Structure 1
Amino acid sequence: GVDLSVGTVQALSCIKGAKYSSCINADEFNKTIGAEFLHDVTPIAFNIQMRPLKPSITFSKGFGSPELNALKEDKVIQLSSEFPSVHTADGKVLGGIMLAKLRLTDTAQGTNSRGKGKGKSPTFQLEVKWTSRDGTNCREIVPVILPGC
């Protein structure tokens, strides 16, 4: 997989239920197959969508997965599937972080278009929808506070 183009890796990673990984040597391959195999072949969620429930907030960039890396300015983040993260013996998560950069427009409370300004820190609710492994449609609304804006 090391010789695949970035576009090919992104296309493979965006397939529902698919996960792309690469190994640089036999030891890494054995570790991945031995310790992390079940995490890599058992998605925990499909058709994941995240959207701010405030019209003045959009996602401007994403980091941490090929689908997020390809994100352009949008109101919704969509991921085809997500997999569980591997934990160390002491319970720490290895990797598994995804980040999204938000754009706050002039109508956002107490902010200008870059999120800076006087007033209290903007808050909004983030709606997250997904389909579980058993086909159940799930939905959560979580509060988000943007400190220091």
Structure 2
Amino acid sequence: MKNNLLIPNKYKVFGWIIFLAFILLHIFTNIIYPEIGEKLPLSTENTSRSFFDASSNMTLAGAGILLGLIMICFTREKNEDEYISYLRLRSWQVSVLISYSILFIANLFIYGSWFLSFMIYNLLTVLLVFIITFNLSLYKIKGERTGDEK
């Protein structure tokens, strides 16, 4: 069965590069050194000619992280067959269940603005858990296939 929603395999490398670059940008400009993040060219003062506001660095980093994760998740494997499609579907199911379980627990124990901050980061958990579970599944079947050949 051919899946037309998947992009070619070569874009997985670009996805990892984009993801890592923007996660480093986010960590550096918003968590470790927020005062430097305010001095970057994208975050200008409120002048009549400014295009970006003070939170543009966080918006740009979030968009880059999301783009990178989507590129990683939706790239075709080199040998995409029905079993890998099954593993892909199973990994999506597991990632949605884990993400919503985390959301359920957070809904019970986190309140106010902390919950809003948590929700922003929770948007990425489905993609992150998918990448982890899918790659672990691929690693396991590659180990089984090499074990069978010996």
Specify which structure has the higher proportion of strand: 1
Greater C-alpha Rg: 2
Question: TM-score under structure 1 normalisation?
Answer: 0.24
* Larger RCO: 1 or 2 (CA < 8 Å, sep 6+): 2
Question: TM-score under structure 2 normalisation?
Answer: 0.23
